[in-house]
Every structure is written in C-alpha cells, then in structure tokens.
Structure 1
Amino acid sequence: MCRTSASLGSVRRSLSRSSAAALAGAVRGALGPRGGRALLLRPTGEAMPTRDGRRLLEALSVEPPAARVMAARACSHRAATGDGAKSFVVLLAAVLRGLRAAGGGAGLRRALRDFEAQVLERAAARGLRRHLRPAPPGSLEPLLEPYLAGRLGPGERRRLARLCAEMCRRCAPADATRPQVLRLLGRRFPELHAAVPGLPLASSRVLPGIVLRRDFAAYCPTDGELRALLVTQPLRPALTAPGVEFVVDSEGQYLASLRWITKRTEALMKHLQSNSVKLLLSSVKQEDVVIYYAKLYGVSVVECLSSEEMALISEVTGVSPYVPFGDDMDREITETAVVTFCQPLLLVSKRCVHIGFASVCAFQPHCLILCGPVDGVNEQHAAALQEAFTMLQQLFKTVDQRGEWKVEGESQSKASDVCSWHSSATQKQLVIENTCNTNQVSECQLKALSDETERKVFDPDKCDLLVHNQKNHSTSVLVAHNADIVTACEGLNVGKGLEETCCHVVPFKPEESRASIAQDYSNCLIEAGSVLPVGGYFEILLHYYIQDYAKQCQQSEVTIVSNVVADALLSIPKALYQTERDGFTKFYLEAINLLKKNQPLPVNNEGLESVYCKYQLVISVLHCVTELLSIDLVISIRRPLQKFEDRDSEDDT
C-alpha cells in the first residue's frame, strides 16, 4: 500500500510538472516589455493579437485537470491583483520543477507552510523591506507604463498610461480620496468609458461627467443646474393592481379609462415640474403618453438605461429610484440628483447623452472616450485599463506578519515544525518581538538591546542596510503605530508624514538604533505604497535574502523548499532578459556582488512596480503548489450522473 501511494504521488507530481511546463512555455514568450504577441482566432473568425496572460490562458482550453487548476489559480490571482498571470505560471512551473529535482518527501506540504511563516516572512521583513521606497507623490505614469508594457505596444502604452493617470487625477483631485476612487473605477469602468471604433488612439480623451450610451427620448434644452429623477418602472398609471382583473363592458368605458390615464399622466408631469425635475433617467421604456407630456412640460427623458448605469448614478449622487405615490400626488419629491449640465453628444455616428452630476462622495464623475481602429483593439485597451485600476488599488495595501517567530529554545521543543536560529543577537530580538507590543517597545528595552546589537547585528561589515542610489532612492523609517501607517498612506503621497532618510551605506550609529529596531518590530512586512524598479529587482532581492536565511535553518525540508523557491524566483528575470545575450547573467552577478558589498544596486529608468503585487504573487504560487500536492485522486466525469429514486421493495421490509 505504501509503495502504491508513493508511486501515485510520483505520477501526480510528474503530471503537474509537465502541465505547468506546457503552460509556462505558452506564455513565456509574451512575458515582459520585450515579449511578443500571440494571435488568437475567435470562433467568429476574427483574429486578435494579444499579450494578455489571462486571454492566453483562457484561449488554450487546456484539458488535463492539473493544468486547469493552474490556469484557474493564475486567473484568480490576476482578478484579485490586476497583474501577474504570466509570471504566476512561469514561477509555478519553476517551483514544481525544483521540487521534483530535490525529491521532496511526505512532509513537503508542511515544509511549504513553515517556509512561508519562518523564512519568507523573515526575508521580507529584515531584508527586502530595507530596499523599498515609497511611490513618488502624485505621479502614476512610472507605475502605469511598465504595467501596460506587458500587455500593449510602445505607442499604445504611453498614451493609455497618460489617459489612465489623467482620469485618476480628475476623478480624485485629493490624494487622500484616491484609494476609494480607484475601487470605484475598477468596479464601474465599463460604465465610465465609451469605446469609439474607427478613430486613432490619439483621439481619446477624458470628459467631465458621465456618457450614457443612449439617445434622448425627449430633449428639452435648459441652462444651469437642474434636478434629475431616477425611475425603474413605467410612469403611465395602471388601471388595476397586479393580479386584479379589470373588466370593460363598453367602448365608452374604454375611452373613459384612456382619458383617466391621460389626465393622471399629465398631473404627474405637472407634479414633477413643480418639484423642479427637468430630467428623467429611466431603466425601462416609457409609454408614448409619458414622452408626450414630458416634452410638453419641459422634462427631458433618457430611457432603457442598464442596471449598471443606474447603480453608478445612484452611487455617485446618493439618490434612490423614484416610486410613484399612487393617489397622493401632492407629496414632495426629495430623492432628486443635482445635474450640472445635460446635452447630446455625437460619437462618430452614435448619439449619446452627456450628463454632469454633483457628486456626494469622493469620486468626481469623469468619463473616458476610448478610441481605436476596431472594436477588438478597443476591447483590449479597456480590459488593460480596468485591470490597471485594480493594480493601483494594491498600492495602498500592506502585507502583515502572519507567522510567529520564536526563539531557539522554543524551536528545539518543536523541531519538526519550525527552524532554529543561531545568532544570539537575533534571539534577543525575537524575545522582544514575542513579549512586547509590536509598536510600543519601551525605552529601557531599546537601550538594553542597542549596546548588544550595535556590536553584532549592525556590524558595518555584515550590515544589510538599505543600499539604494542616493539620487534616485529614498526610504521611510517607520516609528509610528501601524494604524498611522494606513492613515499616512491613504493618498498616493505615501511618504507624506513619514521621515524621509537618505539611502546610502553608513556605519550604524547609536542614535539610529531605536528607529531601526522599532522598524524591525512592526507587524507590517511590506508597507503601503512600497515600490521597486521593474526588471527583476524584486526577484533578485528576495532570492538573495531567502538563501541567506535558509542557511540558518536546521530543518532539512524547509531548507530544501527555501533553495527551490529562491532558485525558482530567478525564472522570471531569466524570461525578461531572454532576448538579450548574457543579459540575465550580467544583471544577476552584478546585483549579487553589490548586495554582498552593501553597495547601491544598478537602477534602470523603465519604471516602478508595486511590491505588494509581487509578494502576493509568491504567496499565491506557494498556495497553488500546496493545493496540487494535496490532490490524491482525479475523477473524470464524462456525463451527468443518473438520478435514481429510492423505492422501498418488499425484500427490504
């Protein structure tokens, strides 16, 4: 039985590895700004070139169950963070390949969990975090251009990055409101843009207000502000209530009923006019009699709006849809939206309605007119921009410590679950981490520890302090409470309110010990707004610090996983530099040598990337590997199960 289980596990891991390798081979060529495009053929015969990882994975229509799980997890990660579908598959394939070569045992799943809590978090908190810097205040183009570079061509990405940044700035004039505005832009982007085929991308622009892709059913021009009413049901009065039969015995009764309906409709329009309502926004088609009296009393009507458009207007204005009052026609209408302008808009050959609303939330309504040669290109551009807004949301998130770091004495009693750490100075730090409030280290503890750590932990020859370029890099020394971090990072000006320090290598000074130690004891592994230059810097740094901490770990399986993940991280920069001869080798050796010497890393001018997204990519891949390793049996169902009725037979009695 044991032999059979071992062989099944080996076959399962082999199938997962081959599936991951096949998926990685399909997307690796499109990874990064230098990647190529794949030509997708739709069932309609339309050909669409794309570099989007999600589209590539969906177009593959993979059959093996393991490959389906991998593609689904990659797309789920992409939907959550807006980025990383191709990198997910490449990193996953490298991890599975490394685990196969290392020959992990039965405790591999537990070792993966221990690695995340004991090695990965330490590498991020004590190594990677020292190289991070806050995003430049008020500037989104350095983040957007490299993000769009992995999906679009050079000319497209520059123009769309500027449009995306302009839309963010106009919709959120105050930096403090940008996180919640980005969430709304990500959710409602289909309603906040209008695609116009047949025009060049350069014709795209951001307009104030919202563009409704409908024409006026009735248009009555008016100047200045006006009141708008949201309607979700017909305004023409009904003769009976639902479920009640209305009997007409003669033609005279029928004509009298029509006259009653006409008078009631006219009275309703007079009532709207007396309440200063000049615009009706309806999700249903209104009767001709409603349109007639709307024109007669100067009320514009836009009908057949989608439920999503109605929900967006309600969210922006805070107004609920209007419900007719029945026989009570004198009741004041209070649920009306303030409209600053309302006018027709001609987009090529399509007539639309352009409306400006007075917002009651942080979002200032603006709409993107997105132009492109054909509908397929517009569709790709819109999808890239919507996911860019999702990616920007991650910039304001933090990664908190989840694993419990324990001292060597506790580790020895549970040697199968955790690692042992040998440095005596590190042990003293861990004692304080477990006994003190994370953000409230007392003065005496800091002072008692400073003398010891000054000689050991912060030895200038062994120090791995932040080693960024003085001109281009800066970091924030975090001394405040973790709640203050979130408050300070609410806007894109993430460094505001934090003490900015020059980032150069200096010997440790006693007066710096308290701030440095307080930073190490924060529950926050990666602070909000943390960025790194694109081009493999994150992977190189995390690779270096994982290997560094793995050397101190006594548990063999955790050491194996650490080395496998550290080597697998290099698969991403290898794919990025695959078009350059010896490009990766030169970049890797130069970066590692500078890290060992505590010298500034070489910096490119290709832009920045959110560290939160990159770190979550690693976590998602590790969870996917654990899930794949936990699959013991695959059941293929080719047809639905037949339903059987339980019937008691005489034999059962």
Structure 2
Amino acid sequence: MAAAGSEQLRLWQEAAALAGAVCGALGPRGGRALLLRPTGEAVPTRDGRRLLEALSVEPPAARVMVARACSLRATTGDGAKSFVVLLAAVLRGLRAAGGGGAGLRRALRDFEAQVLERAAARGLRRYLRPAPPGLLEPLLEPYLAGRLGPGERRRLAQLCAEMCRRCAPAPAARPQVLRLLGRRFAELHAAVPGLPLASSRVLPGIVLRRDFAAYCPADGELRAVLVTESLRPTLTAPGVEFVVDSEGQYQASLSWITKRTEALMKHLRSNNIKLLLSSVKQEEVFIYYAKLYGVSVVECLSSEEMALISEITGVSPYARFGDNVDREITETAAVTFCQPLLLVSKRCVHIGFTSVSAFQPHCLILCGPVDGVNEQHAAALQEAFTMLQQLFRTVDQREEWKAEGESQSQASDDCIWPSSATQKQLVIENTCKQVSECQLEALSDERERQILDPDKSDLLVHNQKNHSTPVLVAHNTDTVSACECLHVGKGLGETCCHIVPFKQGESCAGIGQDYSNCFIEAGSVLPVGGYFEILLHYYIQDYAKQCQQSEVSIVSNMVADALLSVPKALYGTAERNGFTKFYLEAINLLRKNQPLPVNSEGLESAYCKYQLVISVLRCVTELLSIDLVIGIRRPLQKIEDRDSEDDS
C-alpha cells in the first residue's frame, strides 16, 4: 500500500507540474507564454500543445500525460490545457482517497459505464441545445479566445465562418467539407507577412504560392491537365542504350525531340487544354512551345497540392504511353479562371476549379505583421475546423443499459409506484421525464465548504528529480491499458454496483423515453465558462448517492470534485471569489430545476467536453496500469531470430 501511495504521489506531482505550467494560459483571460526557438526567435503563445511540447519533460509518466493531451487535441482540436488541469485534479483526488491497485482501476471503469454515462444521459442531456443553424461565430469566438488575443479572435472567427460557409453553401455538406478543410488547410491558405490582419480575405479558387513558368491569358472556361513527369520526348527507354556516333546524329536527335514536343503541344491544344499543372520541372523546349501555342504552365507543385487538385476535380495525372502522343486525353479538369496574383511582392497563381464534390474551392489570404504570428493564426484556424467537425459527432449509450431501458419501458404498463406527499414531482421542460425532489437533494454545508474552499496546493509545481538517464515506458502497458479502456462495457452484469433507474413517484413511461439511441446528439452545445463541468459535477454526485459499491461511490465523488478544477482555473484570473459566486448561482438553478442563463460569451461543443473527461479517465487508468519503467542508455537494437546450425 505504501508503494502504491508513493507512486500516486509521484504521478500527481508530475501532473501538477504540467498543470501549473499551462493553467495560467487557460481561458479567455489567460496570459501568454514566451517560447524561445533554437534559432533564437521568441514566439508568444497560449497554445496548449505548444506549451506542453516546449517543456521537453523527461519523466516517462509525464511524457505519457503530454502525449495523451496532444492526442486529444489532435482528435478534437481542443482541450490540451484543460486535460492536464483535470488530470492533476483527478490524481490528487485518488491520492487523497488512498485507493490503489487493480481495485481502483476496476472502479474507474465501472464509474465510466455505470455513473458517468447515466449522469450525462439523464442529467446533462436536458440542458443541451442545438447549435444555431448556419451561425458559427458563437462557437468560434470563445474557442479562439483561449488561443489568441482579444484583438485577433473576432476577425479570425469571421474569416473561419466565412470560409466554411463559402466552401459548403449547403449545410448538409458541412461535415464532409470541414474534414477537407482540416486536412488541406495548409494548401487552402496563403500567409502574407507585413500586412494587418484586417487585410485578410477569402478568395474563390485556390492560390498556388509560385509563379507561372509560362503564362498565356485565356478568356472563358478552359481545360487543365495534371502531369507528374517530364513531357519532353525521350530517345531511350529503361534498359536501352542510345549511342550517337556523329554530330549529325546528335543534331538529328535534337530535331526529332523538338518535333515530337511540338506535336504533343498541338495535341494538348486540340483538346482545349490551356493549363498544365506539373509536379516536376519541365524542359526549356517544352516551355517554349507552351508559350508558342498559348498553354500556361505551372511547375514544381507539391504532392499535397497535386492531391488537393485531384480531390477537387476528380482527375488523375496524365501519363504518356511511349511515343503515342496522339492518345486521347480524358482526365482533364474544368477551370473557370487562371490568372497571376500579386501578394505584396510575391507573384502567385490564382486558379478557379469546377468541383465535382460538395466542396466549393476557396482560399484564405491570411495577413499578419510577421511570419510567426501568421503561423499561430493558421494553426488556430486549422484546429478550429477540427473542432467544428465534432459538432456532427454523437455519443451513443451502451447496448447493455439501452436494453435495460427498453425492458423497463415494455414493463411500464404493469408498474404501480406508490406516491408520497413529501415527494413533489417536477416537470422537466417539454419532456415526460420526472424526478423526485429527493433525487435533487442539496449538498450538505460541509460538502459545499470543501468545494468552495479547496486545498490551494492542488496545482503547485513540485520540484522534480532530474533524470540523468533517458527512460522508456514499456510499450506493452499501452496495449493492455488501451484494451481495458476500450472494453469497459464488458462484464457489467458481474459488478455489484447497482444504479437505481428511478425512484418512487417517478413515471415509468417517462423513463422509457430517457433511453434514446444517444445521449449527446449531433450539434449539442452549452454556454462556455464552466457550465459543462458544473452540470456533470452535480449529476455525478446525485448518482453517486445511489451506488451501493463503496469504491465506485468514492471515485464518483472524487471525479465530481475534480471537474470543478477547470472552472476554478478559468475564474482564477477573474474578480475575487468569482468561482464561488458562479458555482452557487449555477447550483441554485439546478436545485430549482431552472434553465441555465444565456451566456453572451459564446457556446462550446458538448461532444468535445465529454471526450475530454473520457480521455482523462482513460489516461489515469493507463498510468495506474504501468508496472515497470525501464531506463535505457542507447537505442534498442532489432534482434532477428536465426536458427543455429547446431539446432536439431
């Protein structure tokens, strides 16, 4: 037990150190950190991923924490700073509870399946509301407020929303388009240093950050072809040697190449091809005939740019079949315009494509004072598109308790529940669900004092021992813990924790409606500022009272208290006692079953917040599953099994 306690202390200290490094930059009131690059350049940032990666932590468990926080950020586009703050609070609660070992890991899994999901489904869900259709700024502004300064977020939120609406005029196409914007944003924007952010704009088409190798103005719609090889005819083939015996033969060879190049260019022009996009540099003779026959050429496109154009137009690169220059060209893209574009002092290529998908090509011209600021803005916008994708995600309930709910609904006709005069039923908005007043029992005064006057040492940065030897976490623990976390629903019937589905005075018919296919539906949002954590905190505590298994009940109260660490950090830089006031007002509304107030600061995705909680709990389970850390002084060598000659 002592060993387990010291291990939990070490984990909490490492998590608290990470949380202490980032909590000052959390939320819209957070400050900026100044990162120094190896080149000596100073970069101010509030980005959680950059802050965590810049720490270059050495302890293996801390590296696991950073990796899981960055993984959540890559998946949802949000939550790296909140992840470590919540993780430190959960580990602190576990240490205070004094549990450990396999029983604690099992209690964490049981809590997720039996308490967390039910609290979200039957408590949190009633306060969720759909995102305003077509209105993205209320989501984008608070999201960018945690990463950028107040003078930048509004303009960038407008640009992000405008680009989304222009690229996906049809709302039904938004999920597909947002995925493309997230994957290809590097190719769908052009950074322009030296201009104010107000000069940024969204342009139709795409901008290639290079000049024409040959430019021939053309009016009206034209055709374009993609190539990935040099179109200059060759005199040899692979494995064939070409021998020139005299100057006359050499000149004849050059003449043949010239004629074949001209013939190929005539063939391209006869197919109405006036634009050639090449991933390689073409020969001078080809450029000469391109200008002669009015074909514009853009060279040295990256593989990502070629892939984007192929995805937009649905065409594949053109490939010649030997000397058959007259082969029919079927893979051509429709181009609405093709013109040079001057961005400050750099000439670029501006092309408009006719898309074969729901994505309507547009490009963002992103202006900023210096390159470093443009990089931060571009990274924030790309992750904003990733965050917006989560609006179309749902969280489905487990099959085990869905079936349980269906069976209870079918048996509702035979249920007769005695009512009590002291149990007043409350109608929840426009649903048939009813809960008893005892189910919404208030927290005790002692409990509230513990919540409102927390131990101030939960986010202190503790001195860590320096590790002189590089260390490596045994990777087999990742596999084991991942499997355990992904299959937390298995064996629910074998546990002794029982969640009472409803109490006396509740309607059986209403309970059946509470078990829908998902408890966080697509587009579900909440006001920003800690309301999600307060709601989940309140209903987890409510369900913890019904849990008959002591370990799960302890974990429930511990997680409920840990959830408050995020709004505490958010209000840490606000007015004095800001969190206390916010907490008491929110809890009072919940006790009276009143709706949450409308928050003018904006909205946030309920799916992202729920995934944050799940990711933290699974990271804790993973950390508690590590049994051995091996220190190594050199890279591992690959060992191949070879049968010995002496083996019989």
Q: Return the letter of the residue paired with 2:590.
A: L
Q: Which residue of 2 aligns with 1:321?
A: 317
Check if 1:557 corresponds to 2:551: yes
The CA RMSD over aligned residues, in Å, is: 2.5
Which 5+ residue runs of structure 2 have no aligned equivalent?
432-504
Among 395, 405, 410, the alignment partner of 1:433 is 405
Query: Any residues of structure 2 matched to 1:406-555 within 5 Å, and which?
Result: 433=405, 435=407, 452=417, 460-461=424-425, 517=511, 519-555=513-549
Give the deviation of 1:446 after TM superposition.
Answer: 6.0
Among 208, 228, 235, the alignment partner of 1:232 is 228
| CA spacing shift, 1:38–1:403, aligned 2, 3 Å | farther
| CA spacing shift, 1:524–1:328, aligned 2, 3 Å | same
Conserved 8 A contact 1:215-1:353: yes
Q: Which residue of 2 aligns with 1:597?
A: 592
Give the deviation of 1:54 after TM superposition.
Answer: 0.3
Partner Cα separation in structure 1 for residue 404 and residue 611 of structure 2: 28
Q: Which residue of 2 aligns with 1:142?
A: 138
| CA spacing shift, 1:247–1:212, aligned 2, 3 Å | same
CA-to-aligned-CA distance 1:187-230 (integer Å, 9 cap, x gap)? 00000000000000000000000000110000000100000000
Query: Any residues of structure 2 matched to 1:544-623 within 5 Å, and which?
Result: 544-579=538-573, 580-623=575-618
Partner Cα separation in structure 1 for residue 645 and residue 347 of structure 2: 74
Check if 1:85 corresponds to 2:80: yes
> Given the two structures, how large is their TM-score scaled by the length of structure 1?
0.84
| CA spacing shift, 1:86–1:251, aligned 2, 3 Å | same
Query: Any residues of structure 2 matched to 1:296-445 within 5 Å, and which?
Result: 296-402=292-398, 404-405=400-401, 433=405, 435=407
Give the deviation of 1:238 after TM superposition.
Answer: 1.3
Q: Return the letter of the residue paired with 1:142.
A: P
Structure 1 SS opposite 2:186: helix
Q: Which residue of 1 aligns with 2:493?
A: none
Conserved 8 A contact 1:215-1:352: yes
Give the deviation of 1:644 after TM superposition.
Answer: 8.1
| CA spacing shift, 1:81–1:249, aligned 2, 3 Å | same
Give the deviation of 1:68 after TM superposition.
Answer: 0.5
Q: Return the letter of the residue paired with 2:315.
A: V
Among 38, 42, 63, the alignment partner of 2:37 is 42
| CA spacing shift, 1:163–1:14, aligned 2, 3 Å | same
Query: Any residues of structure 2 matched to 1:242-321 within 5 Å, and which?
Result: 242-321=238-317
Structure 2 SS opposite 1:190: coil
Partner Cα separation in structure 1 for residue 163 and residue 421 of structure 2: 47
Partner Cα separation in structure 2 for residue 244 and residue 193 of structure 1: 45
Structure 1 SS opposite 2:548: coil
| CA spacing shift, 1:456–1:124, aligned 2, 3 Å | farther
| Range that drifts further, 596-605 or 94-103 | 596-605
Give the deviation of 1:590 after TM superposition.
Answer: 1.3
CA-to-aligned-CA distance 1:263-314 (integer Å, 9 cap, x gap)? 1111100000111100000000000011001111110000000000000000
Which 5+ residue runs of structure 1 have no aligned equivalent?
1-5, 406-429, 468-508
| CA spacing shift, 1:351–1:172, aligned 2, 3 Å | same
Check if 1:67 corresponds to 2:39: no
Q: Which residue of 2 aligns with 1:412?
A: none
Conserved 8 A contact 2:261-2:289: yes
Give the deviation of 1:646 after TM superposition.
Answer: 8.9
Q: How many residues align?
A: 573
Partner Cα separation in structure 2 for residue 170 and residue 647 of structure 1: 61
Structure 1 SS opposite 2:191: strand
Query: Any residues of structure 2 matched to 1:6-155 within 5 Å, and which?
Result: 6-106=1-101, 107-155=103-151
Q: Return the letter of the residue paired with 2:624.
A: L
Conserved 8 A contact 1:216-1:303: yes
| CA spacing shift, 1:645–1:84, aligned 2, 3 Å | closer
Partner Cα separation in structure 1 for residue 640 and residue 591 of structure 2: 72
Partner Cα separation in structure 2 for residue 89 and residue 457 of structure 1: 47
Partner Cα separation in structure 1 for residue 640 and residue 597 of structure 2: 71
Q: Which residue of 2 aligns with 1:490?
A: none
| Range that drifts further, 11-20 or 219-228 | 11-20
Conserved 8 A contact 2:334-2:354: yes
Percent identity among equivalent residues? Answer: 83
Conserved 8 A contact 1:207-1:366: yes
Conserved 8 A contact 2:8-2:94: no
| CA spacing shift, 1:644–1:346, aligned 2, 3 Å | closer
> Given the two structures, how large is their TM-score scaled by the length of structure 2?
0.85
| CA spacing shift, 1:379–1:143, aligned 2, 3 Å | same
| Range that drifts further, 251-260 or 299-308 | 251-260
Partner Cα separation in structure 2 for residue 335 and residue 251 of structure 1: 40
Structure 2 SS opposite 1:227: strand
Conserved 8 A contact 1:131-1:466: no
Give the deviation of 1:650 after TM superposition.
Answer: 11
Among 206, 213, 217, the alignment partner of 2:213 is 217
Give the deviation of 1:10 after TM superposition.
Answer: 2.6
Among 632, 639, 644, the alignment partner of 1:637 is 632
Structure 1 SS opposite 2:572: coil
Give the deviation of 1:7 after TM superposition.
Answer: 3.9
Structure 2 SS opposite 1:342: strand
Partner Cα separation in structure 2 for residue 386 and residue 565 of structure 1: 32
Conserved 8 A contact 1:121-1:403: no
Q: Return the letter of the residue paired with 1:11.
A: S
